[in-house]
Structure 1
Amino acid sequence: MPILEREPPKGRRESYVLPKVPVPPLKQTLDMYLSCMKHLVKEEQYQKTKAIVVKFGEPGGTGELLQKKLLERSDKTYNWVYDYWLEDMYLNQRLALPVNSNPAMVFPKQNFKDRKDSLRFAAHLITGVLEYKERIDTRVLPVDFARGQLAGTPLCMKQYYRLFNTYRLPGHKRDTLVIHKPGSTEQEYIIVACKNQFFVLDLVVNKKKLKEMDILTQLEKIVKMAENSEERQPPFGLLTSDGRTEWAQAREVLIKDSVNRESLAVIEKCLCVLCLDNPSGMEVGDTSRALLMLHGGGHEKMGANRWYDKPMQFIVGEDGVCGTVCEHSPFEGIVLVACTEYLMKFMTGSPSKMGRATSVSELPTPARLLWKTTPHIQGLLKASAERLQRLVRDLDMDVHKFEVYGKEFIKKQKMSPDAYIQVALQLAFYRCNGRLVSTYESASIRRFHEGRVDNIRSATSEALAFVKAMTDEKASLSDSEKMKRLWDAINAQTNYTITAITGLGIDNHLLGLREIAQELKMETPEIFTDETYVASNQFILSTSQVPTTVEMFCCYGPVVPNGYGCCYNPQSDHLLFSVTSFHGSTETCSAVFIKALDEGLVEMRDLCRKSNKPQSSAAPAASKVVENNQGAGSKLPSTLQKTGK
């Protein structure tokens, strides 16, 4: 199995028992699947798909057999979908982690006076990390509870316990999520990356925890050591930026030497990575900061000053560009938000404790990790650098603040801000492409034991009816009819959200049926080789809401070569969007999409203002603010993704 540790975490704050993820009724999922796809494929293809689905669901047929086996699996496991989902979403994926998988959280721009000022910030940040980790290890984090539609339901906390004690180990065909024992003495150190070198910063010396001033002292030593060109090591962090199979092959070469084997083991067991970046030389704006978090600017800038397999990498740039980039397989965006918001509040609310340091002579010199290289390894590093650079050049990023209004205006319309924004995204895409496509919006299922996410399929038939009404000049629909269609779209989005967060979405269920068939060594059922199913898993529009209460934002890349990644952060008086695409696609352009999104949001506001009042028959369902995609950031739910990038 790719992951261990099956027992629910124990602690005085977590005496509740969460239910298992349900297995939805087969007929319900098949009917919903057809409903989701009917308006997205041609009629001829839909009729073909419908016949395949009907046959699959016949009494005594293949579907019923697989459903029975899935129910048996549910009886025997804590969470029937978890391993299937983890492997399909992450561990089986072969694309490079930067841009394609790892999301980033961009902190507010810092104004450092000099390098030492940035190191003070870094020392204070690590002090906050250690405080947060102690809260995790001692199980005193307050339990999260669902908000909105099903408010008060306790949520699974297991993802928090994997922030600092996990590592994604590359494999030739499938990666492994390694979990170290929480609170292990092996983890009493962090790795510091500086000038593409890696150093061990012990956090406990002579059984005493380092104070903040001690951490600063050690960071200063590390910076000085990194500047010593005579001892400089090759930029081995580049290998972790490569495709997963390429990195696994390179790692096999590395571990033939005991020096490399030991350095890798040290990194794999560390608490987290702290990346001390040089000034990037780029104009520091929201978009450039987001790019530096996602890929470091490539090997010519900070792209090698990373170790992308480690879930938590904190980046502190001398020019004030700070944030974190995360390996996504152990946890969702809302857990990342909770951690980083705690750290930001710690940074501003807890004064830096730069008291008297331990005598410098008492602190051992941080160890530089050493590597043995060969011409073959040098060639691997060069190839990784070139592939990273191609990825850097291809990414088209646009971070945009929509300032006309924010979520307060949407709430005044008695609409869910998330549902409203999702409909706006459909309008923007339709305006750019004249069609809707399968859309992914992550939906948290943390109300269940070991719950991660399912998918909210936002490209509803009701959304299509609305966007056509807003763009078809020939239709000449009245404002009241357009408003009715907007409410229909909002309600459809809200209803599907409720379905997904209560464990009754279609994507996890279909995945489970597919994987059960594979385990039984059956010929793949036609429903899963059908053109419609393949298209249903090509998420050209991949979206997540990642709301924050402090000034920072999340971003990630597209999941298919011709797609968009859209992360949004609704605030009271503005909406922040991070939109990504690839320059290599002739079908996408982030700036064009943002322009269409701006126009649509203004038109939707104007429509709401023109309406005398919300349609009373439709308003109640949509007016309930639903806990929607608090699993934000999960993006890649199918092994059927294109792998051309």
Structure 2
Amino acid sequence: MAPRLLLLQLLRSGPRGVAVSPGVVPCRSLSTGPGSGEYLQRSIVPTMHYQDSLPRLPIPKLEDTMRRYLSAQKPLLDDDQLRKTEQCCKSFESGTGKELHELLVAQDKKNKHTSYISGPWFDMYLTARDSVVLNFNPFMAFNPDPKPEYNDQLTRATNMTVSAIRFLKTLRDGLLEPEVFHLNPAKSDTDAFKRVIRYVPSFLSWYGAYLVNAYPLDMSQYFRLFNSTRLPKPGRDELFTDAKARHLLVLRRGHFYIFDVLDQDGNIVSPSKIQAHLRYILTDSSPVPEFPLAYLTSENRDVWAEVRQKLVHGGNGQTLEKVDSAVFCLCLDDFPIKDLVHLSHTMLHGDGTNRWFDKSFNLIVAKDGTAAVHFEHAWGDGVAVLRFFNEVFKDSTETPAVTPQSRPAGTDSSAAVQKLRFELSDALKSAIAAAKDKFEATMRTLAIDCFQFQRGGKEFLKKQKLSPDAVAQLAFQMAFLRQYGQTVATYESCSTAAFKHGRTETIRPASVFTKRCSEAFVREPSRHSASSLQHMLAECSKYHGQLTKEAAMGQGFDRHLFALRHLAAARGIALPDLYLDPAYGQINHNILSTSTLSSPAVNVGGFAPVVPDGFGIAYAVHDNWIGCNVSSYPGRDAREFLHCLERCLQDIFDALEGKSIKT
């Protein structure tokens, strides 16, 4: 199984699924030709061919979970705290935890169509009452179109919209290449292999791929990409999808517009007509509404649920259905992007008027053509979003539907484009005003900063036989120790999409190895030779690799303990002492929440901290440089953290080059 482990250590996604599969790019596909066609590709293997035969997500052994949990606690606890936690673990493993584990295993055997984590994970997202903005929704920004003239807002919005609809058509017609990681593409990513594997029955197909070192991934979340919205409900939200709807939702200056992008036969409306309709919307000179409805999607979910009922009862039900069922939401912003920090704020939250935060995703295109995807997280994780993201970038830049010289169709857009209007009572206006005040107050508290370390990246670190991701994670540990003098709970999410209905597992980068190494670099560098520091770096890299492999194989501890706790609550079983132990609360208070982004299409990504006193760290280790985008609230200083991070990376590179480290 070693090749499988090698694959899976690559499948990392961010805490909110912000993506990331370094090197995992959708497999080779057949383009339909420049600027034309209904499809992105025509896969000879049906899109969902492997889904039925995907292996099931394993439930770890309880004793392994306890051992891994204690290992993750060691760098965070003093001796007395650790002894108490060890006792809690022993009691849990031999008592209530054992009973819950047996119940979980029995329940899992009865539900072979899914994974043990899928239901509890949906519950976790949908029962959360906090605003989805900052707390859950992340963003990924596209690189500019390589052809500068194609970054005109109208041209790029048209091309990306058409490419997104091509993706929808390709997916629904079963012509999208299955998501597969190829360890030996010369054998498995070939027409010859595909012609054979397509005739293998679905319930056996995964095994056929495995024989040639190809590893299909779960694609069960993909159908929620389109025509989907998270609906606010009291206590627990619902995911809504209406695959029959054919219209696009466009937001501009807080106004809502819809027009069909698919005709009655399911064919894509001509790109020149889509371009004409978008041009028509861009020429609407209406000012921003006094009470922009979009603010409501940033509210507390119970508050929003109550207000939504008032909207429906006030005669807005059918209009809201058009918003909810739209293929996706295209947001056209009326200003250019100044820099990466401005880009991050714009795409992560904006001014609240021009996003429908509940849609499965918002495709945002700024005045200068800067584009991003902002996505709601309950429906799925970063693997599906990144695949969509990569395909849209590739198709819109390589086979654009329109050119800067293209003339929009001579069509009556005033008849085709419907501007949605909402009836707002005084109570609804008050609710919008309150949501606006809350939104603006919250956004003022968020700081974002970024930097690029240009001294080296993946190529140099691999020559040193070190994991680039392990070095980045170690640098975060060192930076926090330098800034605040502590080692704290750290979260790095790992995709378990190699399993049926897999979601994520947690890598815990803070370890006894990173703590020892960080203290050597930060507190006493003069006492250690370069070779001694290099040895510690190698230990950190090796252990991080082990943690990554275990997590990718579903062998972490976080999801198992989460599922056991969820089961106890569902069965009315008193919460075991393990969960009441302050150490459990502390390790789940993730002060460093991290996500790596790696794709030729991604410019930058980002998300907010998951706790008030934390950092949200989006990063990428490129071939020759390292990028980092960090967010914080007033309790922490993102800019100072980046200064410390740069110093720590310099020290690591000095040590690797045999230089002494300055105190």
Equivalent AA in structure 2 for residue 308 of structure 1? F
1:133-189 deviation line (CA, Å, top 9, x unaligned): 112112222223347799632211223332114221122322222244xxx332x11
Aligned pairs (5 A) from 1:181-330? 184-186=243-245, 188-205=246-263, 207=265, 209-224=268-283, 226-228=284-286, 234-258=291-315, 260-279=316-335, 284-296=338-350, 298=351, 303-330=352-379
Contact 1:221 1:365 in 2 (8 A): no
Give the stretch that moved more between structures: 409-418 or 100-109.
100-109
Contact 2:156 2:369 in 1 (8 A): no
1:356-381 deviation line (CA, Å, top 9, x unaligned): 76552498331111111111111111
Matched with 2:231 is 169
Matched with 1:596 is 644
- Structure 1 gaps of 5+ residues are 1-9, 613-645
Determine whether 1:87 maps to 2:135: no
Distance in 2 (CA, whole Å) between partners of 1:42 and 1:11 is 55
Distance apart, 1:15 and its partner CA: 3.0
1:187-228 deviation line (CA, Å, top 9, x unaligned): x1110001101011111346463111100111122234x424
Determine whether 1:130 maps to 2:192: no
Distance apart, 1:341 and its partner CA: 2.0
Matched with 1:178 is 240
Distance in 1 (CA, whole Å) between partners of 2:423 and 2:169 is 36
* Larger RCO, structure (CA 8 Å, separation 6 or more): 2
Distance apart, 1:285 and its partner CA: 0.5
How many residues are treated as equivalent by the alignment?
Answer: 583
Equivalent AA in structure 1 for residue 222 of structure 2? Y
Q: Which one of 623, 626, 630 corresponds to residue 575 of structure 1?
A: 626
Distance apart, 1:265 and its partner CA: 1.0
Matched with 1:420 is 471
Distance apart, 1:524 and its partner CA: 1.0
Distance in 2 (CA, whole Å) between partners of 1:306 and 1:336 is 18
Matched with 1:67 is 101
Distance apart, 1:246 and its partner CA: 2.1
Distance in 1 (CA, whole Å) between partners of 2:68 and 2:58 is 16
1:210-257 deviation line (CA, Å, top 9, x unaligned): 111100111122234x4245x957310110112222212221221112
Distance in 2 (CA, whole Å) between partners of 1:24 and 1:497 is 15
Matched with 1:379 is 430
| Gap change, CA 1:206 and 1:491, over 3 Å in 2 | closer
Aligned-partner SS, 2:486: coil
Distance in 1 (CA, whole Å) between partners of 2:419 and 2:101 is 54
Equivalent AA in structure 1 for residue 254 of structure 2? N
1:411-436 deviation line (CA, Å, top 9, x unaligned): 11112211221111111111111111
Q: Which one of 19, 26, 32 corresponds to residue 62 of structure 2?
A: 26
Q: CA RMSD in A?
A: 2.6
Distance apart, 1:474 and its partner CA: 7.8
Distance in 2 (CA, whole Å) between partners of 1:362 and 1:248 is 34
Matched with 1:627 is none
| Gap change, CA 1:309 and 1:217, over 3 Å in 2 | same
Distance in 2 (CA, whole Å) between partners of 1:250 and 1:295 is 21
Contact 1:333 1:546 in 2 (8 A): no
Distance apart, 1:119 and its partner CA: 1.6
Distance in 2 (CA, whole Å) between partners of 1:72 and 1:26 is 14
1:446-498 deviation line (CA, Å, top 9, x unaligned): 11001111100111111101101111228712222222211111111110111
Contact 1:112 1:318 in 2 (8 A): no
Aligned pairs (5 A) from 1:144-163? 144-146=179-181, 152-163=214-225
Give the stretch that moved more between structures: 233-242 or 138-147.
138-147
Distance in 2 (CA, whole Å) between partners of 1:357 and 1:573 is 42
1:617-643 deviation line (CA, Å, top 9, x unaligned): xxxxxxxxxxxxxxxxxxxxxxxxxxx
Give the stretch that moved more between structures: 446-455 or 423-432.
423-432
Distance in 2 (CA, whole Å) between partners of 1:353 and 1:469 is 57
Distance apart, 1:112 and its partner CA: 12
Aligned-partner SS, 1:158: coil
Equivalent AA in structure 1 for residue 334 of structure 2? N
Determine whether 1:346 maps to 2:395: yes
Equivalent AA in structure 1 for residue 234 of structure 2? H
| Gap change, CA 1:295 and 1:164, over 3 Å in 2 | same
Distance in 1 (CA, whole Å) between partners of 2:97 and 2:229 is 37
Aligned-partner SS, 1:552: strand
Contact 1:111 1:319 in 2 (8 A): no
| Gap change, CA 1:169 and 1:380, over 3 Å in 2 | same
Distance in 1 (CA, whole Å) between partners of 2:391 and 2:532 is 46
Aligned-partner SS, 1:139: coil
Distance in 1 (CA, whole Å) between partners of 2:138 and 2:56 is 28
Give the stretch that moved more between structures: 140-149 or 360-369.
140-149
Q: Which one of 506, 527, 531 corresponds to residue 480 of structure 1?
A: 531
Distance in 2 (CA, whole Å) between partners of 1:115 and 1:497 is 40
Contact 2:142 2:601 in 1 (8 A): no
Matched with 1:408 is 459
Contact 1:205 1:363 in 2 (8 A): no
Give the stretch that moved more between structures: 350-359 or 444-453.
350-359
| Gap change, CA 1:531 and 1:291, over 3 Å in 2 | same
Aligned-partner SS, 1:364: helix
